[in-house]
Every structure is written in structure tokens, then in C-alpha cells.
Amino acid sequence: MRRRRRKKLPTEPIALDIEKLSHEGRGIAHHEGKVVFVEGALVGEKVEAVLTSRRDSYDEARVQTVLSSSPARVEPPCQFYSMCGGCSLQHLEAQAQITFKQNMLFEKLTHAVGHAEYEKVAPMTGPVLGYRRKARLAVRYVHKKEQVLVGFREKHSTFITHMDHCEVLDERIAGLLPELPGLIGGLTTFRAIPQIEVAAGDPELEGVTFALIFRHLEPLPERDVQSLLDFAREKSFALYLQPGGMETVHKVFPMEGIDRLYYRLPEFDLTLGFHPTDFTQVNAQINRQMISKTMELLDLQPEDSVLDLFCGLGNFTLPVARHCKQVIGIEGSETMVERGSENARANGLTNTSFYAADLAQPLTSAEWIKQDYNKVILDPPRSGATEILPEIVKLAPERIVYISCNPATLARDAAFLEEHGYSMFCAGAMDMFPQTAHVESMAMFKKVSG
């Protein structure tokens, strides 16, 4: 059977008028009866673009020349932006970025719930550069260049961007980028290190405040381990090695102390510890704002009993515990349940408990689901909270605060809650990931009386 040959793409640029932005932040235009998604284009612009792919129902293109630019267009702050896949909106002014995200959120929510009778909360914003405290850096030895590259993947490619700085990474981590290729290139096992995981806590706290986890596909000889140790001592970071799966991650420097980094929530007099592989929010300033807004929306009272679902290490649970009778945190990971309990003890909190449960499975036998709760926090993964929502409705809490990393699943779940006795009172976006099209948001639902 003959395989159909893919037609060659035309090399001549095409003139396009950009009508709006897609949810991924690409310009949308029409050409010869088809939709064209244009990377690097903004609303209202006239551009010349080169086609990068063709589908039956749409084409994809990349801006070659901006003929007429949007007032919101800016010079990208990063010299590697045109190539690096870590960011997608650096060419759009920061305020316009969050306006785009906010409008996209409201469009989805209004369509889902069938009305716009909810308060549109002002977006949460913070630093647009140097904010990212967690990341995974790819590592590869490129034979043709006879060089080790460390960085993010290129746009739409498995290649690694040749970069010596990153504008969005925390400076403690970004500052190491010029030296990491030489460090790894000097190891005898330089071909066996495919990635470095990075994590950082608050820089003002005492001790080591950030960590690097080196994944390696073959055992490291003592000489290589010593080179990494010397670099970790010089740069004052915690060094971890990962010879296999996540369960093999282990600290090799400093050996004293427990495997923890820390971040503060000063408004609630809390310090939370986390392992570098734990999930934590990448943007510390937005996280603090998000917690404060959640507390405001919950309107906590001394006699409240709160259920915190998908609670992680207690990011919401512990601040809530400062202001109510009791709060129960539920998380799928036993490790994170242990971390939450550890953080509660460390902060002297006795009115909170953590339980492990798969929130995608029936929960009728769980003891904690049989208790009474008058307020609920939801912070689910991108897939949303479909499976647990019927159980929440049965609990009949007065208020539900839903934190979301996916507007599409938030909108879907909002429609469910509206159909089952709740009204969406307010919603708003959070700029947790500036320079990208990623949208974090929150909404609050009140039980409708009667």
C-alpha cells in the first residue's frame, strides 16, 4: 500500500489580518477560506507569515514580518524568546496578557453557566520576570556542536534551546545557567544526564534555599559526584541525585538536616516545608495573594468546619486552620498527607487532620466524608473535579471556593454546581505564569437558599 506523500508547504509568506487570539495565545486569521493560527501575532495586526503546517480544517503559521503592529506589542525581554518554548507571550505587554487571560476565563464561565450575573474579581498580578521557582531543565550533549546544552525545549521541537540565561526563572537558578553546561561537560558521564529538576524556597530564610536534582542514566563515578558536590558547595544549593524513578531521589549535599526547603506565609505566621520534588506553586507572590483571597471569599468564622480537597502539603489548609474550628485536608498522595501533618505540627496547629484518598473514586466508606462541613475548598488538577462534585453537593456547604489551573474544566464544573443548587458569586484570573498563555483562576459559589 502506497503511503501518501505530504505536500510541501509553500515558502512564500502570506499577508494576514489578525482578528483575535486563540486560547493558546496565537493570532487567528482567515486565508483562502481556512482558519490560520499564527504564532507571534496580536489582535489588529497585519502580518506576513510563513505556513508551518496544514490540516484539513486549519493551517498554522509563524510571523515573519509585522506590517502593522498592535499598541500592545513590546520587545520580548528575553533574547532567546523566538526559539525557546518556555514562554509564548513575551511579545504582548504584561497588562494586556492578564486582560487576555481574564477575558478568556469570563467567556468560558459565562457560556457555561448561562449568565453573567457574577462579580468579576480584579486579576491578581505580581512580578512578570524572575518569578518561576520550579522547573525542569533538559540536558543534552550535541555531537555536532561538541557541546552540552542546558535549558528548555525549543518551540515545537525536541531540541534544546542554546541559552545562558532565563528571564522568568528565579535569579538563583537562572544565574547558574551559564555554568551548568561546562560543569556537566566536564563529567565523564556527561552523556548520561538528561535533565535537572530545580526548586526554590524563600531566599530570605536561613540555610540552603534552593535545590537541583540531577537525573542520571548510569552510575556516577566518585570523580563526577565530587565535581557536583564542589559546585553545590560553591553555589550554596542542595544537591540531589536521581539514578532511577522518583523514589530514587536522594540528597547528597548538605548531609545534615532534613530534606526540606521552606516558604513563608507571613500574613498567617506560617512556615511550610517541602521536599524539592513536592508540588508547590511556582509563583510565591501570587500564591500569597491567592491564599488571602480564598480566606476572604470563605468568610471564615470561629465555628466553621472546612473541607480542603486536593490539599497538597497544606497550602490552604493551614492558613484556614488559623481562623476556624477545624479543617480536614484530603490528598491522593500519602507522601503529601505526611507533609501536611508535618507542617501542621511544626506550626503548632492542632485543629487540622490530613487523609489520603483517591478523589476520583467513590468515597462513601471514608469516615471524613461523613462529617459536617459548612465550607469547602477545591484545588483540583487540570482534569477538574467531576467525580467529587456530587459528594460535595451532598455535603451542602454554604460556600465553595474553587481554585483552577484549567478554565475549561472550571467552566464545566461551574455548570454542574449551578444545576445543583449553587450560584457562582464571583470569579477572577491569577497571573501565576506571566509570559505564557497558562490561566490560573478562582471562583466562589454560594448555596442558593430554598
Active site residues: 405
Instruction: List b or e across 37-59, with b for residues whose CB sees 16 or more CB atoms inside 10 angstroms.
Output: bbbbbbebbebebbbeeeeeeeb
DSSP state of 383: T
Q: Which residues contact 255 (CB under 8 A, 6 or more apart)?
A: none
Residues 6+ apart with CB under 8 A from 172: 200, 203, 209, 210, 237
Bridge partner list, 262 = 273
Count of C-beta atoms within a 10 Å radius of residue 269 = 11
Can you tell me whether residue 329 is helix, strand or coil? Answer: strand
Q: How far apart are CA 163 and CA 142, in angstroms?
A: 14
Please work out, in degrees rounded to the nearest 5, the angle formed at the alpha carbon of residue 362 by the alpha carbons of 359 and 368.
70
The phi, psi pair for 139, rounded to 5°, reads -130, 135
Tell me how far apart the alpha carbons of residues 281 and 84 are, in angstroms, rounded to a whole number.
22
* Contact call for residues 388 and 417 (beta carbons, < 8 A): no
SS3 of 28, please?
strand
- Pair 193, 218: CB distance under 8 Å: no
